[in-house]
Homo-oligomer: A and B are copies of this chain.
Amino acid sequence: MVQFVSVENILKTVRTCGVETFLAGLANYVEQDFRRWELFDKTPRVASHSKIGVIELMPTSDGELYSFKYVNGHPANTKLGLQTVTAFGMLSKVESGYPFFLSEMTVLTALRTAATSAVAARHLAPKPSETMAIIGNGAQSEFQALAFKALLGTKTLRLYDLDPEATQKCMRNLAPYGLELIPCKSAEEAVEGADIITTVTADKQYATILTDNMIGAGVHINAIGGDCPGKTELHKDILLRSKIFVEYPPQTRIEGEIQQLPEDYPVNELWRVISGMEVGRAHANDITLFDSVGFATEDFSALRFLHDTVQKTGDYEDVDMIAEPTDPRNLFGLLTQDDSRDKAA
């Protein structure tokens, strides 16, 4: 039997733990796995592109566990009342190849993206980082806000979205969490006085959410939304002034903000900073940029954390996904002998 965490069950578990506690726990797993970076079998995601979106598989393994995530990205879905991104994923044992854990990952991806952003910022952002601007107040924004509150003690959010209703929605959702929430009329206004600028917009196109004059010295930029070929959020000049940190360079060069830069432009690997092998922010005036596209190891961490968490909360079902005949050579026997399923029962 494979443990399955449905949408209902992940919501139940996150509610039981509390979102901030869940995010903090997840962030610890993400950080642990970044420290073990060299152990992982890494490969750029396997993408199937169509005119209106992309479907991707993101596999990885640490030699003991194997994970993959299925995820789509369809910006026009929102107009049809559908999610831009849906996802699910799985953990299996490398030793036997047997899957043992399956989960919805639409909610979990939002949580892991936010946890990873906050982990990166914990190593890169100026200290203290009390004020964050969030440009793009859609499906990811509240998760980002609470991860930064939980991990960095962020107190004030300056919110901007092209659509003021999105900002209102974000403010309503965040109202109970004790953050100061400031709605802004423009991206320029939002970034005023911000220690951290999070960009998390969704158009599948080259866009310029931030221009060079908006970025002052000492800021940390958490760029979430530029995450597939042809989709960026920052003006190139900002990149040239920043110290750029990425997850997995071969993937980020295809999908991230740095697709605007030459292929050999120097970037820094986040795992090396987290492992203490390299310095993140060297000077108070540095502009640090986390060019986040999301990497398979983060999903691995998220699945591992959720698995460990639901062993305590019990928020999962067993699903009958693996055929287990008593005699493994007698798969066919399952068709005729009901008793050959003893082991699965």
Contact = CB atoms under 8 A, between A and B. Distances in A.
B78 A99 contact: no
Interface string A94-129: 111111000010110010000000000000000000
Contacts of A344: 7
A262 interface: no
Interface string A65-82: 010101011100110111
Contacts of A169: 327, 329-330, 333
Interface stretch (A54-62, A180-188, A237-245, A280-288): A54-62
A322 B142 CA distance: 20
A345 to B, nearest CB: 9
A217 interface: no
Contacts of A331: 83, 106-107, 110, 139-140, 143
B61 A59 contact: no
A329 B50 contact: no
A320 interface: yes
Given A92-B55, A173-B333, A324 B83 contact: yes
Nearest to A58: B57
A332 interface: yes
A201 to B, nearest CB: 12
A328 interface: yes
Interface stretch (A24-32, A41-49, A204-212, A221-229): A41-49
Nearest to A46: B46
Copies in the complex: 2
Contact of A322 (B7, B74, B78, B320): B7
Contacts of A99: 70, 86, 88
Given A99-B88, A323-B104, A173 B336 contact: yes
B319 A106 contact: no
A320 B88 contact: no
A59 B73 contact: no
Contact of A88 (B11, B77, B78, B321): B321
A154 interface: no
Given A88-B321, A332-B173, A77 B104 contact: no
B328 A84 contact: yes
A132 interface: no
A332 B66 contact: no
B106 A323 contact: yes
Given A55-B66, A84-B328, 9 more contacts: A72-B92, A72-B98, A74-B97, A81-B328, A81-B343, A82-B324, A83-B325, A139-B329, A173-B336
Interface of A: 4, 6-8, 11, 14-15, 19, 41, 43, 46, 48, 50, 52-55, 57, 59, 61, 63, 66, 68, 70, 72-74, 77-78, 80-84, 86, 88, 90, 92, 94-99, 104, 106-107, 110, 138-143, 166, 169, 173, 176, 319-336, 341, 343-344
